Amino acid sequence: MTIDLKTVKHISKLARISLEEKKAEKLADDMNSIFEFIEKLNELKTENIEPLTSIAVTTLRFREDKITSDNIREKILKNSPEKNDDFFVVPKVVE
Amino acid sequence: MTEITSLSLFELIKNIKEKKISSNEVAKSFIDRSEKSKKLNAYVTENFENCLQLSKEFDNKPNFDLKLPGIPIAVKDLFCTNEVRTTAGSNILNNFVPTYESTVTQNIWNEGGILLGKLNCDEFAMGSSNETSFFGNVQNPIAEDLVPGGSSGGSSAALAANLTPVTIGTDTGGSIRQPASFTGTVGLKPTYGSCSRYGIVAFASSLDQAGPMSKDVKDSSILLEVISSFDKKDSTSIDFKRNNYSSELTRNIKGLKIGIPKEYRVDGMPDEIEKLWKKGIEYAKDCGAEIIDISLPHTSYALPTYYIVAPAEASSNLARYDGVKYGLRSSGESLIDMYEKTRSEGFGEEVKRRIMIGTYVLSSGYYDAYYLKAQKVRQLIKQDFDQAYNKVDAILTPSTPSSAFKIGEKSNDPVSMYLNDIFTVPVNLAGLPGISIPAGTDKNNYPLGLQIIGKPFDEQTVLNIAYSMEEKINYKNYISDWWMQ
């Protein structure tokens, strides 16, 4: 299997990363050599194997539905690149 | 007295408790040496002024019952530190100043530790040489133009160069153990769930673990005791009874069974690694351990599994960097355009590569073929270890397939860079504790490490074997201070 330029561009759209043409070609080459290496897994038959989703054998803990933080609005907004009073500001979304 | 900066953590604590030196003197010594060591590029952010102030405050009101009384410590820049810039080695977090503290670092400050600064690392901990950092390469103090390993490369360099008495790193596929091996230091990755992941910039959540890095095994036991804790703020933190690792540390490992996995004898492994391993087996026997041949049949599938699981988790974790809530924002005509430009300018090449791989393996139509397949193979890898641990108490392997390489040597070939983690990655996939200890040198006099892998939650046995072997190996790191101005 090879990953072509069209696929790389589609994936970069999904990943929300803009790509220049030249970089996309390099990336396709890199991805192909990495996937060549990954294909090794196909040597193994795994039909009846349970996937390992979490190494920590724990059930998620419940907690009381109670507010535990004070008003941290300022802290949350502190690192935002652009804000307006109590809001994050982004480029216009609705026409 | 020997120079303060070359003392071990244990000796520093002892001297401070006996009032032979003050916290402020210790802080000054490490800061002075760090100032003269800029060429190593180990620090991303210095916290020297604050550190001096806090050390004075400690001396005015000392509490000698603490486990790290007034000890200055620099940490990997992947741990969020309240009001101190945290970059994860990335341009996208260049100006990020957290408003909260990671649990692991908070545990250190609670026991009297003082933040010295934030140490360089591969961008989002993705790398094995510290070359993917936005803040530039780090020099290995062992020799000029040699990589310090990665991703905790600033940590290993600062430690080996005596810029910090101990440090903490994070390990997703070998990022503590490999840099420790490359710099002649000790690095321990604890069992998954031992140290809280709260406040650590996430890379691959099912694999990430924080752990101690130190000049000797005893120091790692002291630091592990401080940082390992059950934490409600991390849903995968595990509530198990933690040992008093430093006081229970013993060199008596008589009768312990140590496994030697034949599959770790990989093709093209240099002779010197093979020799080191054989020497290690002899040392372990001298310590009273029983050596048993074992098999971990799926070893060769660990790296391909890792390079599906880790990028997949990374692509999800890094979706949060969108230029809205924090971090870099590039200007764009629309919201989507802004996202795409921000992520393109904010992430480096390796990070983009991994996000792309991760997005691809999780995308519609490919999930079963890649991600699900990898999770199934991960199960097989874990079962290999489960079966081996029916016969043995721990496993001994080399830490890396080579010594430290030159800066630039592997940076254009991602797969050859990935192969560096061949002995460390299976341990993360199975969630086990593993330690790297310096055990010898190669033909260039560059350090080589041995890895001891333990059963889940059995850090004590791992530390004890390492402590016992360390005495027999008697490794001395030769550092010439070539970088000092």
Can you tell me the distance from the alpha carbon of B320 to that of B355, in angstroms, rounded to the nearest whole number? 12
B175 included as an active-site residue: yes
Establish if B96 touches chain A: CB-CB under 8 angstroms.
yes
- Which residue among B29, B34, B76, B220 is the active-site one? B76
CATH number of the domain to which B35 belongs: 3.90.1300.10
Interchain pair B206, A54: CB under 8 A: yes
Nearest of B349, B351, B347, B354 to residue B328 by alpha carbon: B347
Can you tell me the distance from the alpha carbon of B92 to that of B113, in angstroms, rounded to the nearest whole number? 29
- Give the residue, B236 or A60, on which the prediction is more confident: B236
Establish if A66 touches chain B: CB-CB under 8 angstroms.
no
**Bond before B90 cis per omega within 30 degrees:** no
Establish if B231 touches chain A: CB-CB under 8 angstroms.
no
Give the per-residue pLDDT at B117: 98
* pLDDT higher than threshold 60 for residue B10: yes
A-B interface: how many C-beta pairs under 8 angstroms? 159
Nearest CA of chain A to the CA of B439: how many Å?
A: 30
- Which residue among B175, B220, B237, B402 is the active-site one? B175
Give the per-residue pLDDT at B103: 98
Can you tell me the distance from the alpha carbon of A73 to that of B321, in angstroms, rounded to the nearest whole number? 19
Mean residue pLDDT across chain B: 97
Q: Give A-chain residues touching B378 at CB under 8 angstroms.
A: 51-52
DSSP sequence for B243-307: --TTTT--S--TT-EEEEEGGGS-TT--HHHHHHHHHHHHHHHHTTPEEEEE--TTGGGHHHHHH
* ipTM of the complex in this document: 0.95
Per-residue pLDDT tens for B169-191? 999 999 999 999 999 999 999 99
Establish if A30 touches chain B: CB-CB under 8 angstroms.
yes
Can you tell me the distance from the alpha carbon of B354 to that of B304, in angstroms, rounded to the nearest whole number? 13
Record: fold of A5-43 = Histone, subunit A (1.10.20)
Q: Give A-chain residues touching B304 at CB under 8 angstroms.
A: 37-41
All residues at 6 or more sequence positions from A90 whose CB lies less than 8 Å from its CB, including other chains:
A82, B324, B335, B338
DSSP sequence for B121-145: -SGGG--SSSTT-TT-----TTSTT
Interchain pair A46, B430: CB under 8 A: no
Percent helix, percent strand, percent coil in chain B, to nearest 5: 40, 15, 45
φ and ψ at residue B218, rounded to 5 degrees: -60, -45
How many domains is chain B built from? Answer: 1
B151 included as an active-site residue: yes
Interchain pair A90, B308: CB under 8 A: no
Give the per-residue pLDDT at A1: 62
Percent helix, percent strand, percent coil in chain A, to nearest 5: 40, 5, 55
- Which residue among B23, B37, B129, B151 is the active-site one? B151
Taking residues B20-29, report their average pLDDT.
Answer: 98
Alpha-carbon distances, residue B204 vs B15, B50, B297, B339 (angstroms): 40, 32, 25, 22
pLDDT along chain A (95 residues), means of 10: 90 96 92 93 95 81 87 93 92 83
Interchain pair A3, B340: CB under 8 A: no
Q: How many Å separate Cα B173 from the centre of its chain?
A: 9
Nearest of B184, B211, B193 to residue B439 by alpha carbon: B184
Nearest of B104, B100, B116 to residue B28 by alpha carbon: B116
Per-residue pLDDT tens for B317-374? 999 999 999 999 999 999 999 999 999 999 999 999 999 999 999 998 999 999 999 9
Taking residues B211-224, report their average pLDDT.
Answer: 98
Give the per-residue pLDDT at B221: 98
* pLDDT higher than threshold 90 for residue B269: no
Interchain pair B324, A80: CB under 8 A: yes
Per-residue pLDDT tens for B114-128? 999 999 999 999 999
* pLDDT higher than threshold 70 for residue B416: yes
* pLDDT higher than threshold 60 for residue B1: no
Q: Which of residues 174-193 of B touch A (CB under 8 A)?
A: 192-193
Q: Give B-chain residues touching A90 at CB under 8 angstroms.
A: 324, 335, 338
Pull the structure tokens for residue B137. 């390469």
Q: Give A-chain residues touching B373 at CB under 8 angstroms.
A: 41-42, 46
Nearest of B217, B177, B206, B180 to residue B453 by alpha carbon: B177
Establish if B374 touches chain A: CB-CB under 8 angstroms.
yes
Taking residues B13-31, report their average pLDDT.
Answer: 98
Nearest CA of chain B to the CA of A1: how many Å?
A: 12
By residue count, chain B amounts to 485
Nearest CA of chain A to the CA of B107: how many Å?
A: 20
On whether residue B40 sits in a domain, the answer given is yes
* pLDDT higher than threshold 80 for residue B6: yes
- Closest partner CB to A40 (pick from B304, B315, B431): B304
Pairing status of strand B394-398 against strand B257-261: parallel
Taking residues B457-474, report their average pLDDT.
Answer: 98
Per-residue pLDDT tens for B87-113? 999 999 999 999 999 999 999 999 999
Which range marks the domain in which residue B146 is found? 4-256
Give the per-residue pLDDT at B340: 97
On whether residue B134 sits in a domain, the answer given is yes
Interchain pair B328, A30: CB under 8 A: no
All residues at 6 or more sequence positions from A44 whose CB lies less than 8 Å from its CB, including other chains:
B298, B301, B377, B380
Establish if A50 touches chain B: CB-CB under 8 angstroms.
yes
Establish if B316 touches chain A: CB-CB under 8 angstroms.
no
Q: Which of B376, B385, B416 is the best substitution to test chain A (most A C-beta atoms within 10 A)?
A: B376
Interchain pair A79, B99: CB under 8 A: yes
